[in-house]
């Protein structure tokens, strides 16, 4: 199977968040499991020169953006066995930033989406599945369905769209997007690309992709609610049958404290001396008081409301009053950089903050911290809590999204759990949970070491999740189930004779050639009536009634005549007709006898319980000195109205 990942970032080339970690870690695992997976991303100016020098040019062509054309070059590089393609255009990607400062993001990533599709015909690679990640690639499934579906090369090419963070959707003016991608007005409706008066790249992927995924099972459920759905919850509920939550993993080779070259000392779950060294050296590097007995709390995050920093802002004095040390690493909103800058001066030697993206320092904080704080308002998956547990740092997290799927709060009664959690988005709930964690750190070291070992020995690899992605790809590309279109007639069930029915004479069988066909089940109803005269001649009549169908009205008549001298024919018991339907059952028997003979009348049939019907039973006997008595009328059924008439002539 051939799979192409389309993403706006990927480690080790460029990273601003968890998306880069997912793409960079998942692709080698899929490759190891036998999938021909490749990755395509923009060639940013921020990509290190050591990788740029290794790239080779694959092809060059022009990309049409409505009324204009732009140059596009495709370069390639193989890393960890995976082929990476880079879309080269210096006008769009040769800038000093990755996202969001130029005001033309719709054009930059509109160009990227069309360049990915156009590049496929120039490369020696036709994927079975195009796996698109986040809003920057959301237009790829839409363009494939709208503008490329009639080309044979793109037919049967399936798409998967993964939501990494629903809050970031790529919302732009409709006219600007039309001027870039040449999409007509009819496509900007509420059921397609329009979203509250704007064009929405994320919605384009959600509407047109064949399958949708997100990065944890809990987040897949949450985004179908109004609170977490970011105004797309209705669409996600409509496509819930195509939405799957697959938990992210981490690169267990890169994040391995036993052989990580970026930390101060290596250690494993059963030899934790190296972690104590890491804590001491981290305190020195960050300018904190060196004290092995103080719980050191780490935070590595983007500084925004999503990550719960407004909770920390509410109770930062009470939090520091627990006697902890706090280390913060990240970049983001100015009000939170100001908050931690003030706190660093307010609590010297106890709080340190670094506003940067420093990969090496991040590894050292994971290894040197005792606790790791993640009070997120929402968290699609979260990798930091898994990395922290991998390094023996106990997470304190809010139960949302991937945090709920990976962190289980410690239960002292069952001795289960690998961290500490709180449910309500409340600052004092967070404070209480932190106080509980500090209590175990100081007063119950046996439980504390047990939590460290559980966290470090947990399975956070990509192998299980990669298998789920492979199953999803196979469900898309496997051939449709074969259906038989033959018009072979179904076999008619055999109608069995009742055990109590008397055997009919050969002459009678010839007079009743038709059998009642069975309908779905072998249900049948038969009537047999016989009449016989007295001493001189006897007349025998057997009457069979056809099996009534479930609906409709039918008449079944089976007259039979027989003449035997000096014989007597007793009457056979009548079968009860079906309960449903309306019908009339008429049964007539005629017997001819010479003088001094008698022809008694056969009684009428017992009608069905439901419906309205009439049962007529008439018998005629012609004889010079004979008398034909009239048969009594039958008792009517419980339901319905009916008449029973038995005239005799």
pLDDT tens digit string along 632-648? 444 444 444 444 344 43
Given the structure tokens 């990494």, which residue do they identify?
A: 164
Helix (H) or strand (E) holding 226: none
In a domain, 357, yes or no: yes
In a domain, 400, yes or no: yes
Structure tokens at 13: 């080339």
Same domain, 430 and 306: yes
**Nearest Cα to Cα of residue 161 among 7, 280, 268:** 7
In a domain, 561, yes or no: no
Confidence at residue 391, expressed as pLDDT on a 0 to 100 scale: 98
Strands 243-245 and 211-214: parallel
CB 648 within 8 A of CB 630: yes
7 HSE (CA, 13 A, CB side): 28
Per DSSP, 473 falls in state: H
In a domain, 555, yes or no: no
Please list, in sequence order, all residues whose beta carbon lies within 8 angstroms of the beta carbon of residue 575, skipping any fewer than 6 positions away: 498, 525, 526, 527, 545
Q: How far apart are the C-alpha atoms of 112 and 109, rounded to whole Å? A: 5
In a domain, 222, yes or no: yes
CB 354 within 8 A of CB 341: no
In a domain, 117, yes or no: yes
Low-confidence ranges of the chain (pLDDT < 70): 479-649
Q: How far, CA to CA in Å, does 349 sit from each of 154, 290, 356? A: 61, 9, 20
Q: Region of 166 please: left (phi>0), alpha (psi -120 to 50) or beta.
A: alpha
> What is the SS3 assignment for 397?
strand
Q: How far apart are the C-alpha atoms of 97 and 42, rounded to whole Å? A: 12
Q: How far, CA to CA in Å, does 211 sit from each of 135, 245, 469? A: 15, 11, 11
Neighbours of 317 (CB within 10 A): 10
Please list, in sequence order, all residues whose beta carbon lies within 8 angstroms of the beta carbon of residue 481, skipping any fewer than 6 positions away: none
411, 432, 459 - which closes a domain: 459
Same domain, 237 and 291: no
> What is the SS3 assignment for 394?
strand
Confidence at residue 479, expressed as pLDDT on a 0 to 100 scale: 65
Per DSSP, 282 falls in state: H
In a domain, 385, yes or no: yes
Q: Region of 415 please: left (phi>0), alpha (psi -120 to 50) or beta.
A: left
Confidence at residue 101, expressed as pLDDT on a 0 to 100 scale: 77
Structure tokens at 274: 């190296």
Confidence at residue 478, expressed as pLDDT on a 0 to 100 scale: 85
Same domain, 430 and 394: yes
Please list, in sequence order, all residues whose beta carbon lies within 8 angstroms of the beta carbon of residue 622, skipping any fewer than 6 positions away: 592, 593
Range of the domain at 369: 273-459
646 HSE (CA, 13 A, CB side): 19
Confidence at residue 612, expressed as pLDDT on a 0 to 100 scale: 43
Same domain, 92 and 176: yes
Same domain, 226 and 300: no
Same domain, 305 and 416: yes
Overall number of domains in the chain? 2
pTM: 0.74
Same domain, 278 and 219: no
> What is the SS3 assignment for 620?
strand
Question: Burial, 471: exposed, middle or buried (Cβ in 10 Å; 0-12, 13-18, 19+)?
Answer: exposed
In a domain, 185, yes or no: yes
404, 426, 459 - which closes a domain: 459
Same domain, 352 and 236: no
Same domain, 172 and 33: yes
Strand order in the sheet with 198-200: 171-172, 198-200, 194-195
Buried b (16+ CB within 10 A) or exposed e, 142-174: bbbbbebeeeeebeebbbbbbbbbbebbbbbeb
Same domain, 236 and 136: yes
235 HSE (CA, 13 A, CB side): 21
**Nearest Cα to Cα of residue 418 among 381, 364, 477, 459:** 459
**Nearest Cα to Cα of residue 410 among 366, 373, 454, 458:** 454
CB 394 within 8 A of CB 426: no
Same domain, 180 and 280: no
Which CATH number do you get for residue 379? Answer: 3.40.50.2000
**Nearest Cα to Cα of residue 631 among 571, 584, 581, 545:** 571
Same domain, 287 and 193: no
């Amino acid at each position: 199977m051939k799979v192409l990942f389309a993403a706006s970032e990927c480690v080790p080339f460029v990273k601003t968040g968890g998306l880069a970690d997912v793409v960079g870690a998942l692709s080698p695992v899929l490759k190891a499991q036998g999938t021909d997976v490749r990755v395509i991303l923009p060639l940013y100016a921020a990509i290190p020169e050591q990788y740029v020098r290794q790239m080779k040019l694959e092809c060059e062509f022009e990309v049409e953006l409505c009324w204009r054309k732009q140059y596009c070059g495709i370069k390639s590089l193989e890393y960890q066995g995976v082929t990476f393609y880079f879309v080269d255009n210096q006008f769009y990607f040769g800038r000093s930033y990755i996202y969001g400062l130029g005001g033309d993001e719709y054009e930059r990533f509109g160009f990227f989406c069309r360049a990915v599709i156009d590049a496929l015909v120039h490369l020696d690679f036709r994927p079975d599945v195009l796996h698109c990640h986040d809003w920057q690639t959301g237009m790829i499934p839409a363009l494939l369905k709208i503008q490329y579906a009639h080309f044979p090369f793109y037919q049967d090419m399936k798409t998967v769209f993964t939501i990494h963070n629903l809050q970031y959707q790529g919302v732009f003016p409709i006219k600007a997007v039309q001027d870039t991608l040449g999409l007509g007005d009819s496509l900007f409706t509420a059921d397609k690309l329009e979203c509250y008066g704007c064009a929405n790249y994320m919605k384009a992927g959600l509407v047109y992709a064949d399958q949708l995924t997100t990065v944890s099972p809990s987040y897949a459920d949450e985004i179908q609610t109004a609170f977490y759905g970011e105004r797309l919850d209705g669409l996600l509920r409509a496509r819930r049958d195509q939405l799957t939550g697959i938990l992210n993993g981490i690169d267990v080779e890169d994040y391995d404290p036993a052989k990580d070259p970026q930390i101060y000392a290596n250690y494993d779950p059963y030899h934790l001396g190296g972690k104590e060294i890491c804590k001491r050296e981290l305190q020195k590097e960050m300018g904190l008081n060196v004290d092995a007995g103080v719980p050191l709390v780490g935070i590595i995050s983007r500084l925004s409301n999503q990550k719960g920093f407004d909770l920390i802002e509410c109770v930062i004095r009470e939090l520091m009053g627990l006697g902890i040390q706090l280390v913060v690493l990240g970049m983001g909103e100015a009000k939170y950089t100001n908050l931690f800058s003030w706190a660093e001066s307010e609590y010297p030697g106890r709080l340190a903050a670094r506003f940067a993206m420093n990969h090496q320092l991040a590894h050292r904080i994971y290894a040197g911290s005792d606790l790791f704080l993640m009070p997120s308002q929402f968290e699609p998956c979260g990798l930091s809590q898994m990395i922290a547990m991998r390094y023996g740092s106990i997470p304190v997290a809010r139960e949302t999204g991937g945090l709920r799927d990976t962190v289980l709060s410690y239960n002292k009664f069952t001795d289960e759990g690998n961290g500490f959690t709180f449910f309500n988005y409340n600052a004092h709930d967070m404070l209480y949970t932190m106080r509980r964690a500090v209590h175990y750190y100081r007063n119950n070291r046996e439980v504390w070491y047990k939590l460290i070992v559980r966290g470090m020995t947990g399975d956070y690899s990509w192998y299980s999740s990669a298998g789920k992605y492979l199953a999803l790809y196979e469900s898309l590309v496997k051939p449709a189930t074969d259906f038989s279109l033959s018009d072979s007639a179904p076999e008619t069930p055999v109608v069995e004779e009742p055990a109590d029915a008397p055997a009919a004479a050969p002459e009678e069988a010839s007079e009743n050639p038709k059998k009642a066909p069975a309908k779905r089940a072998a249900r049948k109803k038969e009537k047999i009536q016989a009449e016989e005269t007295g001493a001189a001649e006897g007349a025998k009549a057997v009457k069979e009634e056809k099996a009534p169908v479930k609906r409709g009205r039918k008449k079944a008549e089976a007259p039979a005549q027989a003449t035997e001298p000096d014989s007597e024919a007793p009457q056979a018991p009548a079968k009860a007709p079906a309960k449903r339907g309306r019908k009339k059952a008429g049964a007539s028997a005629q017997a001819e006898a010479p003088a001094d003979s008698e022809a008694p009348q056969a009684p009428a049939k017992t009608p069905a319980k439901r419906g309205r019907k009439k049962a007529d039973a008439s018998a005629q006997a012609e004889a010079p000195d004979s008398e034909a008595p009239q048969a009594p009328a039958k008792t009517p059924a419980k339901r319905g109205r009916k008449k029973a008439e038995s005239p005799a002539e």
